[in-house]
Structures are given as structure tokens and as C-alpha cells.
């Protein structure tokens, strides 16, 4: 069957599907809400099937809506890739990237993007910050061009490239007695309480595996939804924490926390640059990928040499 659906209608529906909101889609597209609703209704009339349904106050995609969302995302990405490739043939460096990162990587990725923009001003980007669940959603539904994450899922067909170590360190309040020790045994940590990330986060998974492997059972006093909350809790004296070294430049400079010299630490994880194996690599994606692989470690060490002593 021939459905005369326009590219603009696909764009509008894709925005509604991403936000699950006609209001937010209208704001993003700078259209009135009735105009957005009308375009989606026209699509539903053309295919004679509902794409969305409202239950209570929440909007959901139907089965066909999910299918249309996936195809519309691919079509929009293909158009963008075509435009970037044509520009590259003309010698013009252009494009737009959607980059998804965990909150843990936000600080060093922001630094990286600032350097990248200086060298490649024709390429714009959108930075999406998610928890692990959000990153997995971006992967499954092609909602980002490139994703930076620490623990990649094994159930998806992905292209993954390691580009930098991600040390997890133990932090303590300033002037804690253990901070004066040159070497701290893992067993010593069982005497203090820890503020930890929520179950399911990459940091919590890595922490649990490490201490289970070493036969250590930590006392946990609180769960926090992000690293910023953990750092604030530790600085306030509510316990110890385990966070990525890449999140600590400000706190160490201001001496708000201490990094402890614990045996067998840090827990060394790795940052990966990830995208779906079948995803079309646009010129802008290739430029950013090469920049990340070649320059990230150099930029980080140059900008924050004081953190190297904690590795």
C-alpha cells in the first residue's frame, strides 16, 4: 500500500513519540499544539491505525506507534547523514550530533566538547544526560548518535570502543582519621558506613562485584540517585562514598573531600564510545569518534594533572 506520509509528518510524530507529549513536541518544533495533533491525526487517518493512546493523563505509543517511531528515527537520521555527506564532499565540515552520557561522565565530556567545538565549529551537538536505564533506552531506540558509558549491555549488537580508564575511588569527609593513613586495608572499610548509588547503576554494580570478590561486606546507610548527591553527603560527614575520579576535580581543589589510599584500589573501569552496529556512521560522527579516541586522555591529563596522583 502507498501511504503518502510526508517527511515533516514523520518529524512531528517522532518528536511526540520521543517526549510522549504533544505539548513538549510543540515547544521543540515551535508549532502550536493543535497543529502537532492535527499532523499526527492525519498520519493515523492515512494508515487507518492509531499511533498513540492516552490512559489517564499519560500518553503511550501503540504497537504500530512503536514501529513508526523506529522507522521515523531511521529516516530522519538517514536524511541528516545524507546532508552531512554532501557537505563533506564539498569540503564543508558540518553536522549535528546527539551525544548521550551518564551523569558520571558529564564533567569530562563537557570539557571534551569545548575542545571539540574549538577545532570543529561547524558541527553542533546536543548533550543528553541519563542514568543507565536512560542510556539503554537511547541505544535500543536509536535516540542518540553516540553514547558514552562504562558498562555496555551484552544483549545488543553494538560497536564499542574503549577510549579512557574510569577509576572508581573511595572518598571520605575532610580530616577523617583514615585519611591520615598511607595505606588502608579493605577490611578497615567495614567499620564505616557508605553512601551508595541506587541499585542498577553502573557504579553500584562495579562496587558490588569488587567487594564481593574480596569477601568484604560494606555497611550502607543511604542510597543516592547521582554522584553529586553522594559527594555532598560525604562532605557533610554522612559517610564514605565510591565515585568516579573524573567527578572530583572541584571537590579536591576546594578540599571538601579526601580520596583514600585503599589497597587494591581504585576499581578500574573503562569508558566506551558506543553505537548500534548497524547505525550509519555520518561524517560528523566519524570526526567526533576520532577526536574522542585520540584526544580525550591527553586533554584530561593536561587540564587536571593534580588528579593523576590518585590513579
Confidence of residue 89 (pLDDT cuts 50, 70, 90): low
If asked whether residues 260 and 111 sit together in one domain, one would say: no
Residue 182: the pLDDT is 83
Size (the chain), residues: 311
Structural domain of 199: 165-268
| % the chain with pLDDT above 70 | 94
Q: What is the pLDDT of residue 279?
A: 82
- Which of 225, 217, 221, 228 has its CA nearest to residue 201? 225
Residue 92 has a pLDDT of: 58
**Where among 34, 67, 92 does a domain terminate?**
92
Boundary-marking domain end, from 66, 92, 118: 92
pLDDT range class, residue 151, cuts 50, 70, 90: confident
pLDDT per position as a tens digit, 94-148:
788 899 998 888 888 888 898 898 888 888 889 999 988 899 988 888 889 999 9
60 and 121 inside one domain: no
Residue whose C-alpha cell is 580530616: 175
Residues 39 and 153 in one domain: no
Residue 40: pLDDT band (50, 70, 90) is very high
Residue 309's pLDDT is what? 64
Q: At what angle do helices 63-89 and 283-303 cross, to 10 degrees?
A: 80
Question: At 157, phi and psi to the nearest 5?
Answer: -85, 95
**157 and 302 together in one domain:** yes
CATH number at residue 28: 1.10.10.10
Q: How many structural domains is the chain composed of?
A: 3
Q: Is residue 246 predicted with pLDDT exceeding 70?
A: yes
d(CA 38, CA 52): 13
DSSP structure class, residue 252: H
CB 146 within 8 A of CB 285: yes
Are 146 and 275 spatial neighbours (Cβ–Cβ below 8 Å)?
yes
Confidence class for position 213, pLDDT limits 50, 70, 90: very high
pLDDT of residue 3: 62
pLDDT more than 90, % of the chain: 34
The pLDDT assigned to 101 comes to 94
**pLDDT 10s digits, 216-245:** 999 988 898 888 899 999 999 999 999 998
Do 276 and 143 belong together in one domain? yes
| CA separation for the pair 202, 105 (Å, rounded) | 12
CATH number reported for the structural domain that contains residue 251 in this entry: 3.40.190.10
Whether residue 297 sits in one domain with residue 224: no
Q: Is the domain of 235 the same as that of 176?
A: yes
> Is the same domain home to 55 and 145?
no
- Positive or negative torsion for Cα 29, 35, 41, 42: negative
Amino acid at each position: 500500500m502507498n501511504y503518502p506520509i510526508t517527511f515533516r509528518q514523520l518529524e512531528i510524530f517522532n518528536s511526540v513519540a520521543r517526549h510522549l507529549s504533544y505539548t513538549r513536541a510543540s515547544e521543540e518544533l515551535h508549532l502550536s499544539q493543535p497543529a502537532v495533533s492535527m499532523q499526527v491525526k492525519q498520519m493515523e487517518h492515512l494508515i487507518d491505525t492509531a499511533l498513540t493512546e492516552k490512559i489517564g493523563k499519560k500518553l503511550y505509543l501503540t504497537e504500530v506507534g512503536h514501529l513508526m517511531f523506529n522507522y521515523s528515527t531511521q529516516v530522519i537520521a538517514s536524511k541528516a547523514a545524507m546532508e552531512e555527506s554532501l557537505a563533506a564532499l564539498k569540503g564543508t565540515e558540518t553536522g549535528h550530533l546527539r551525544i548521550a552520557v551518564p551523569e558520571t561522565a558529564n564533567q569530562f565530556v563537557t570539557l571534551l566538547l569545548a575542545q571539540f567545538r574549538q577545532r570543529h565549529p561547524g558541527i553542533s551537538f546536543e548533550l543528553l544526560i541519563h542514568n543507565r536505564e536512560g542510556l539503554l533506552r537511547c541505544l535500543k531506540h536509536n535516540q542518540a548518535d553516540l553514547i558514552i558509558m562504562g558498562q555496555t549491555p551484552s544483549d545488543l549488537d553494538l560497536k564499542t570502543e574503549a577510549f579512557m580508564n574510569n577509576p572508581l575511588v573511595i572518598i571520605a569527609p575532610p580530616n577523617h582519621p583514615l585519611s591520615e593513613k598511607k595505606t588502608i586495608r579493605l577490611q578497615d572499610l567495614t567499620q564505616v558506613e557508605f553512601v551508595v548509588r541506587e541499585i542498577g547503576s553502573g557504579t553500584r554494580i562495579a562496587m558490588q562485584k569488587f567487594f564481593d570478590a574480596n569477601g568484604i561486606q560494606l555497611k550502607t546507610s543511604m542510597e543516592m540517585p547521582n554522584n553529586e548527591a553522594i559527594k555532598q553527603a560525604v562532605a557533610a560527614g554522612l559517610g564514605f562514598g565510591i565515585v568516579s575520579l573524573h567527578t572530583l576535580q572541584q571537590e579536591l581543589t576546594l578540599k571538601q573531600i579526601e580520596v583514600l589510599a585503599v589497597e587494591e584500589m581504585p576499581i578500574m573501569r573503562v569508558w566506551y564510545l558506543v553505537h548500534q552496529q548497524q547505525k550509519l556512521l555520518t561524517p560528523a560522527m566519524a570526526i567526533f569518534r576520532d577526536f574522542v579516541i585520540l584526544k580525550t586522555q591527553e586533554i584530561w591529563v593536561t587540564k587536571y594533572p593534580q588528579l593523576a596522583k590518585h590513579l
